[in-house]
Structure 1
Amino acid sequence: MIIDRPDKANSLTPDMLAALSREVERAADEDVRVLVLTGTGKVFSAGADLDAARAGLATDPVWERLSGAIVALPCLTIAALNGTAAGGALGMVLACDLRVAVPAAKIFYPVMKLGFLPQPSDPGRLSALVGPARAKMILMAGAKIGAEEAAAWGLIDRVVPPEALDETVATLAADALGAGPAHVAAIKRMIG
């Protein structure tokens, strides 16, 4: 799945989020073994389109619907961060099983500064990956974390040059793609 609005830093509109949710939900019914989420251009996603956020998108349940659908997929999910992941878009990234990023990627979630709350499941997922203090640095102190630091924290699993992103994702997906859907789902269930 590709977030494709590069002229607006792949900022997400209500229609885009609804379409992404439908695609993920459809994947659950199609014996998909791997789902890769990435963006077009140099930014994974700037999060919510700010005009749409101010009009109510920041608190719309579609964010939870999307991240919940990603978590519920019985397949391997990989966020291929071709660039920065910010705001609500980070929820999709946190919902994925694996996260691979290019060195220029930054991670931030400016909810404190913008006066919004994060999506309900995001703080718990973030804290599970990086610990409570680092989650507070991102959500409460507004820290922008570079890819290498995010990898050291456990938020990113691999940092690779841009030209190696697709190949790295393909390597990580290879075993799941070679297995049956039930086998992939069983191992994912065992991990939790």
Structure 2
Amino acid sequence: MDYENIYIEEENNIGTITINRPKKLNALNKRTIEELHVAFKELDEDADTKVIIVTGSGEKAFVAGADISEFAHFSVKEGRQLAAMGQKRLFDFVENLSTPVIAAVNGFALGGGLELAMACHFRVASTNARMGLPEVSLGVIPGYGGTQRLPQLVGKGRAMEMIMTAGMIDADKAFSFGLVNHVVSPEELLPLCIKIASRISNNSAVAVKQAIKVVNAGFKYDVDGYAAEIDAFGHCFGTDDFREGTSAFLEKRKADFSGS
């Protein structure tokens, strides 16, 4: 696919996706959502990519929301289709990706932008980041998973307040809420994400994949997370990485994981 609104950089087993619509503050339109789906899929299928970082171009915004001009005149049916397709192609897709995804939140992460960040496996923010779900100020609600993921991350009461007031919170408050894992200066944002990604990439990719799967299972109403953990734990015993990891530990050397 020829990318118009994003670009990808790959180095040292880390793939970085940058959303590049600076004049629109990197707002998500249909084209950008589809490009992101393809990019995440390609990187996930690349055995050399151990971790993915997603960020926005420029200094103002990660993603300042969805492109309202695309759906301002939608019908009820079209609105449902918009949310369903967006969740399937991008937000749920990212959450369940087997390759770890880190959101490097550089500036505004509003509406669909915050929903994208929340779909990632965890988030790192710069000090100038501002986050919120302003949809009710437009007469609509978050439709890309925001009403479900925000309470999981910050608790029901805080999520209700953020959604109903349509207000923004700064990076420090997001950190205190548990919405982001780290807050650093804008210059330190990508270097810290790369440092964390490098630490992840030194571990067993197959074990990391199972960990993502099982942690996500614990947040699904129709899945027994503990049973999923037992199955995944047992699965690891049949992998080359388990044999290499335990052998390396016993032999007091660094493991050389194959990811299988």
TM-score, normalising length: structure 2: 0.69
Partners of 2:51 and 2:201 within 8 A in 1: yes
Name stretches of at least 5 consecutive residues in structure 1 with no aligned partner. Answer: none
Q: What is the deviation of 1:58?
A: 6.3
Q: How does 1:170-181 map to 2 (within 5 A)?
A: 170-181=194-205
Could you say which residue in structure 1 is the equivalent of 2:170? 146
Q: How does 1:1-192 map to 2 (within 5 A)?
A: 1-31=17-47, 32-41=49-58, 42-56=60-74, 59=80, 60=82, 61-65=84-88, 66-119=90-143, 121-192=145-216
The AA in structure 2 aligned to 1:40 is S
Aligned-pair identity (%): 30
Match of 1:189, SS? helix
Partners of 1:67 and 1:92 within 8 A in 2: yes
The AA in structure 2 aligned to 1:86 is L
The AA in structure 1 aligned to 2:30 is P
Size of the alignment, in residue pairs? 192
Q: What is the deviation of 1:45?
A: 1.0
Could you say which residue in structure 1 is the equivalent of 2:244? none
Q: What is the deviation of 1:181?
A: 2.5
Q: Please report the RMSD computed on the Cα atoms of aligned residues, expressed in angstroms.
A: 1.8
Deviations 1:77-114 (A, max 9, x none): 10001111001121111111111111111101111111
Match of 1:47, SS? coil
Measure, in 2, the Cα distance between the counterparts of 1:163 and 1:28. 27
Partners of 2:124 and 2:181 within 8 A in 1: yes
TM-score, normalising length: structure 1: 0.92
| Largest Rg, 1 or 2 | 2
Q: What is the deviation of 1:156?
A: 1.1
Partners of 2:96 and 2:213 within 8 A in 1: no
Match of 1:73, SS? coil
Match of 2:71, SS? helix
